[in-house]
Each structure stands twice: as C-alpha cells, then as structure tokens.
A and B are shown apart, each in its own frame.
Chain A
C-alpha cells in the first residue's frame, strides 16, 4: 500500500506515492531524484543524509517520508543561488574541507543550521554541532575552519 504525500523540496512542490516505511532519504534520492543527499549508514550514525526540515537539521534516514508530509525540505541542491555557491559551500571549497566529498552535503547543511541559529559560534560550538556527522577523510580540522570562515562571510554579507 502506498501513501500520497506532499513535500516542498527546495521550494518546489512535489507529490510522491510512498510505502509507509520508506525513509525520507530514499524518497529524496530515488523518487525526487536529488542524489546530492548521501546515505552513509541508514541508521542515524553518520549524518551524511542531513537535510533541513522546516529549517531544522534531521537525519533523513531516520525520518519516514510520511512524517515529512507537508514539510519544507532543503537539500544541498537548494543552497546555491543560480551560479553562486552559498558562502558555506564557498568556504568548504576554499579551506580544503572537502576531500572525497561524501560527507560534504550533510556537513554543509548541518553548518547552515548552526549558523542560522548561532551566527558566530565558537570552535567548540562548531565541533559540537557537527559531532553527529562523520567525515573519514579530513580529520575535521579544515571543516571546522571552513565553518568559522563561513560564519564571518555570512556576517559580512548580512551587514552589507
């Protein structure tokens, strides 16, 4: 039996038919076709599947698609505007925070959620915010630097 749900993904309305047990990550990747969201474990342990649901970060492998009915979802594909990277994406690129890139979409979105709430986080606050997101390549150091650099960029942009 399938259930019809309505999602708003990166501003676009989409209607999908899903089995009730299907996690949001699979619906986004397979049904909506947005494969920028990654799946590293399917068990809430790695954060690769992080998306923003009504502005809050969630592990989309732990959210059933039916629970997301009527919600506003932002995935990595929804961050850049036209050709311009979001400042967090830009900072990740410039600071060497990306190696294999498989954790990057989740990391960037968790960073966005953090900076939306706390525009000038301390180093410890950054580390705490991303502690549920695993990166096996970078050793996190450049990711933390990138998020702090992004916080300065975002603050400057707000001021401007």
Chain B
C-alpha cells in the first residue's frame, strides 16, 4: 500500500491554518440581511397575540415573520418518525427558547433592537421538566396528541428473562442516571438562505447532511425537492448535532422571501446553543442482571426513560438503538427492555457521538464491576469470559464478523499494568477501572437506500476528482476518500480533489452518522475508483498494445506488469480518452448498498455491515477530602478494523475520549425548575488543555471483510466507555460507587461520608 495506512494530515489543514477556509459564519453576500429569532421567555404557554407593527416600523428592518407568515406544516426527522414541530410557534410554545417570531434587518444591531419591539401575549401553562414527573398521570401535557407525554415506547423480550432470573446464582439491581451535555462544537449553528425571485431556495448550511437537510427543508417549506439546493461550506464541528433540520433554516428562507429575495444569514449565539439546540439526551436506567456462579451473564432486564424535551426530532430513532445496541458487547441470552421516550418542557435533544451509547455503557459497565466484585472475579477476566467474539450472532441477531474486543480487553489490561495497580487503592486512593463498548457501523434504519454513491473523474492532466455527497465537519472523510481513490488508481494523493457536498452537484447521500462514512462512503469511492481504473486501463491497453488485465498503476503511471519500460502516464491515458474520436471523460461510478436488514429491536435483525469495539482502562487518584478525581491516565484499545490513516484515527479517538472525559467528570447542562443556570462553555464544564490526562491509543489488529481496505468506523469509540471506566476506577480507589453522572467532587464526598457513617455496605450516589 502506498497511500493507505499512512499518517497524512487532514487534506484542508492548510486552508484552515491560514484562516482562508470559509465557514457558514464567514459568508457574506451582496444585499445580505441579518436574521434574529425571538424566543419564548416561558416554558409552556399558549400564544394569544403577537404585535410586530413597531418592529416593522424600525428603520433598517426588512422583514418580520411570525407563525402567521409560514405554511402550517408540521415536520420532523425523516419520514419514519413523529412530526411535531412548526418552523415558528403557531398555537403553543413548549420550552423556554421556542421560536416565536423572526426579524431580518440590515445589520445585527437593528435586528436585535427590532426583537425588543415585538409584543407577544402568552397565556402561561403548567410545565413539566422531569421525565419521571411527566409520566405521572395528570402531568401537564406537552403535546395534546401524546397522552402520558409518551413519544415512543419499546417493550422487547428475547429469551426468557424470568426463568433465567429464577435460575440465576445471583441477581443485581441498580439505578443509574445521566445528565444532558452539549456537543460544544466551536462553530455555532448557522445558515445563509436565499429564496430567489424564481422560487428556488439556496441554502448554505453548516450541517453535514446535505441531502437529508434538503428533504426536510423542502418538506418544511412545502416545495418540490429540486427547488431547494443545500450547499455545505466548511463546518466547525458537529459530532452528530447538525445532522437534522434546525428551525433557523426554514425561518431564514421565509425571511428571505418576505424581504424581497435577499439572502438572510442567521447565526446562533452561544447562549442560544445552550437554550435551543440539540444536546445529548439524559436518561434514567434501571438495570437488573442475573449471572451464574462462575460469572456468565444469564439475563438482563432494563427500564429506560429518556427525556426528549419538547419536540421529538431524532430522539425516537435514538431510543431504538439505545434499547438494544449494548446487548451485543457480551454474550447474554435473555434480555427484556422497557424503554420510554418522554416529552418535557425543555429544548429537544439530538445526536452526539455515540448516539445513546455513553449512557447505556455507563450503566451496564458500572454494574458489571459491582457483579465482578461481588463474585470475586477480576473485572477484566469477567469481561473476557463474556465477550462477544468473531462469528457470534448476538441476542438480537447481529452478525459479528470482525471483532477485536477480546484483544482490546487484553491490551488495555496489559498496557495499563492492571494487575499491578488493581485493588491496591483503598489506602493510597488510587485505582483502575475498565469498560468496553460496541458501536454500529452504517446502521440500516429503513429498507430503502442506505448506502452511498460516489463518482470519480480522471481529467486530462491526471487530476482525479472524487464526487461524493457525504459531508465533512472536520472528522476527515474527504481525506480518507482521497486516500482510497489514490490507492485504487495508483496516483499520488496530491493529485486527488474531493468536492464539497452541494445537492445540485453531488449525489444523494445519507451523511455522517452511525460511523458510516469510512465504511459506506469509502466503499462507494473505492468502487467508483475501480470503475474509473477499468476505463482508464482500457485506453492505456490500446496505447501500450497490451491487455487491460495485464496493467497496473502506481505513482501516476500505468505499466504492463513485469515490463516496467512499457508505461504511460495516467494523464496521458485520460487525455487520450477525452480527446480522441468519440472521446469521453473517464468517469467511474460506485454505489454501495450494504447487505443488511432493517434495524428492529423487536425482531432479529442485522442492521450493520460491520461492528466496531473498544476497551478502556482509566486510572484515577481520588482526594478523599475534596472528592476531586484526578485522571492519571486513560488506556484505549480500539477495533476500527484496518487503520487507513494513523494521524486521523488517533485524532478521532483522542478527541472523542476527551469528550467522554468531560461527560464523565465535569460537564452538565443544569436545569433548576426548567431554568438553565450555566449556559456557557466554561460553566457547563467543557474541558481545556489542562484537563487532558495521558491518553494511550492502541488499535487492534483487525481486518474487516466488508470495509474498504479492511477498515471500519472508529470515530465514536472514544467516548462511550470513559464514564464507567472512571466510575469503576473510583470504586477501586476508595470503595464507593457513583451511579449519577457527572462524577463530580461533591458526589464523591457525599458517598464517602455515607460510607463512613453506614454500618455496612457501599454508599451510592
């Protein structure tokens, strides 16, 4: 391999280092107006009247819109899920931050001033902020058509859990709770939307799911899909959040139209990010697990309650995965899950690296250590004993092909010097803890097209252009796509360009979620490059008077195998193909459609073309007086298949792991009676450079049979295991078990105190 597996920097690093990369927030267009949104000041209420006359009269204001100015279209995420949202409130507001009206003006100050001039009369309604409270009969209803505030529920039963519990040597029950955290990407949500005089809407959006956003935006605006064009500029981070439609996109479109077809830019403030974007869902997870005397998992019963906030968005799709994904980390024959998604009067939630995995992994992997401890089995041994292995078909039917989990467990155990450090803690207050995870690669959520399209052009000067609609927000897909094309075609990496997604130019794509881009997008690029190579070799074969199947290429030249002197430059062959009689551009096409079945937790399905795994060990030191938990080291071993680019892979694991550390230790979007006291980077606990422990990154030696060049997705592996690994390490260090995230000092102190006053048993908090 000349390109695959090498540590290439991300391909647009130069533009980014120079400051010339243009993000949505940087875009400016002739005549562009600045939009601002008026948000609900109350948590729940009926809209009685809105008077915009004074705002409209303010010089510099070009458009003011309210729910009266939009088509009353209720939209949602995709076509399979509940639709429950208008672009602007029509009847009710359902959280503090809900969109009521919007203004476009010649500058931001004027737009801001105009918002103050809009008079809104609301009738306040009782609100509910907690998922448990929302389930109580008689609780305020967030949506009248969702009785009991239930958005979605699953009741899944595989095997015979009751019988297994009866047969079990021991059964354990715990309750875990996790908090909301924000993705805290640096570039806030933003868009520039132009509704031109001929009825076409062009939107520059800092999303990375162009095709999906186009469908949702066309739906929200009631336009034919080709009347909407979505262009992706550079995106300053997303981590899942920006995959769905944000209300500012249709709002900017309506403002643009009303303002006489002027482009309108709306950028979230950082406060808006915390009040009105889509953070990670908070959960309450009751887990009951039965085991045999020698430590085999027999059964698990789970009650999961997810707090959706006021609109469902992606939350139902996430619940679907959360309620069964983690049952495939280990062999566990009997499972039952009662999972509910509940409306409350808070902002909606969204995807964030792991898509519900960090929450479930925290609960299951924490309880795992309680069990191991009680049975007197080393937690690493316990995990190895139960670990899923290559060739397994798990409880839900997931067919595990490549699987580096056992290897990962052994690796982090050995690299962390587990045996030396483990169980020494109680006096020195140092300890180690382990946790594992599985993540889906390219999960199929419906029976329609779930693959990826790409084409590869080879131009007459040898330049290769990869055309894919799969988005990029800094995680490196374009670099991986370029590497794959370069490797297949035998050309230098520098001669490959990758286009930015633009729905008028690039093919339909599903976008980056579910760790799917390397495996699905990458395979489509590989197939397109192979098709282009075939066409190229046919032309080269004529020129070289050889057979196409006898050719090979490297470093931009095509050779006859075994006779190096008979060669032709890729550029020369491409040029000949184009300029000769009946000529054409070399254009290869690739369509990947995974041979998977639709995800269905109720039935047996195999939704992914590959599954990725990881194990981690955290080492901590706990200050018994202050409760401070110092992370001394994080050892990670990751099964992302064959690694295509070591620099990028390490960057994905470390960056994701630090997000996991923030989630485990410091980050928390607090809600006090619905009010948010800490809506900022610092107050919400986002880690800085001084919070980073030494992070050891290891990749298992795995070669996936399906992924391009043996690769699988790995960008979501770093975060999920951290919280449980740290909680388990705290237990190893000081003998207390924390079951609520984040693992904050005050909780550590509280449980240590409880423990010292308790007559027996371990404290819990």
A136: B residues at CB distance < 8 A: 183-186, 237, 239, 655, 659, 686
A64 vs B49: C-alpha distance when bound (angstroms): 39
Residue of A35, A93, A96, A143 with most partner-chain B CB within 10 A = A96
B187 to A100, Cβ gap below 8 A? yes
B168: A residues at CB distance < 8 A: none
11 interchain pairs, CB-CB under 8 A = A41-B680, A48-B186, A96-B648, A101-B16, A102-B185, A102-B236, A131-B689, A131-B690, A137-B651, A140-B689, A140-B692
Least Cβ–Cβ distance between A43 and chain B, in angstroms: 6
B18 to A42, Cβ gap below 8 A? no
Total interface residues on B, CB under 8 Å, equals 55
Partner of B270, one of A41, A92, A126: A41
Instruction: Check if B654 is an interface residue, CB within 8 A of chain A.
Output: yes
B187 to A40, Cβ gap below 8 A? yes
A159 vs B692: C-alpha distance when bound (angstroms): 33
Known: A96-B7, A100-B235, A144-B689. A135 touches B18 (CB 8 A): no
A98: B residues at CB distance < 8 A: 9-10, 13, 16-17
Q: A35-B26, A40-B188, A101-B234 provided; 10 other pairs, C-beta below 8 A?
A: A35-B25, A36-B18, A38-B23, A45-B681, A80-B18, A101-B17, A102-B187, A132-B688, A137-B475, A141-B695
A75 to B19, Cβ gap below 8 A? yes
B648: A residues at CB distance < 8 A: 96
**Of all chain B residues, which has the CB nearest A77?**
B19
* Those of A111-128 within 8 Å (CB) of chain B: 126-128
Instruction: Check if B457 is an interface residue, CB within 8 A of chain A.
Output: no
B9 to A94, Cβ gap below 8 A? yes
* Those of B4-29 within 8 Å (CB) of chain A: 7, 9-10, 12-23, 25-26, 28
Instruction: Check if A46 is an interface residue, CB within 8 A of chain B.
Output: yes
Quick one: CB contact mask for A68-110 with B, threshold 8 Å, 1 for yes?
0000000111011000010001101111101111111100100
A70 vs B476: C-alpha distance when bound (angstroms): 41
A85 vs B18: C-alpha distance when bound (angstroms): 8
A45: B residues at CB distance < 8 A: 270, 680-682
Known: A29-B26, A75-B19, A127-B689. A100 touches B474 (CB 8 A): yes
**Of all chain A residues, which has the CB nearest B694?**
A141
Where chain A touches its partner, the secondary structure class is: loop
Number of residue pairs spanning A and B whose beta carbons lie under 8 angstroms apart = 174
Known: A19-B109, A101-B16, A132-B688. A139 touches B658 (CB 8 A): yes
B226: A residues at CB distance < 8 A: none
Return the 3 tightest CB-CB contacts between A and B, nearest first.
A36-B19, A100-B474, A101-B16
Instruction: Check if A60 is an interface residue, CB within 8 A of chain B.
Output: no
Quick one: CB contact mask for B636-677 with A, threshold 8 Å, 1 for yes?
000000000001101100111111000000000000000000
B658 to A100, Cβ gap below 8 A? no
A59 vs B500: C-alpha distance when bound (angstroms): 31
Residue of B17, B183, B476, B655 with most partner-chain A CB within 10 A = B17
A96 to B10, Cβ gap below 8 A? yes
Partner of A105, one of B19, B187, B650: B19
A104 to B16, Cβ gap below 8 A? yes
Known: A93-B14, A102-B237, A127-B689. A138 touches B655 (CB 8 A): yes
Instruction: Check if A151 is an interface residue, CB within 8 A of chain B.
Output: no
A43 to B9, Cβ gap below 8 A? no
Least Cβ–Cβ distance between A51 and chain B, in angstroms: 11
A80 vs B18: C-alpha distance when bound (angstroms): 7
A89 to B187, Cβ gap below 8 A? no
**Of all chain A residues, which has the CB nearest B188?**
A40
B654 to A139, Cβ gap below 8 A? yes
A108: B residues at CB distance < 8 A: 17
Least Cβ–Cβ distance between A77 and chain B, in angstroms: 5
A138 to B19, Cβ gap below 8 A? no
**Of all chain A residues, which has the CB nearest B474?**
A100
A126: B residues at CB distance < 8 A: 689
B186 to A46, Cβ gap below 8 A? yes
A99 to B187, Cβ gap below 8 A? no
Instruction: Check if A134 is an interface residue, CB within 8 A of chain B.
Output: yes
A144 vs B10: C-alpha distance when bound (angstroms): 17
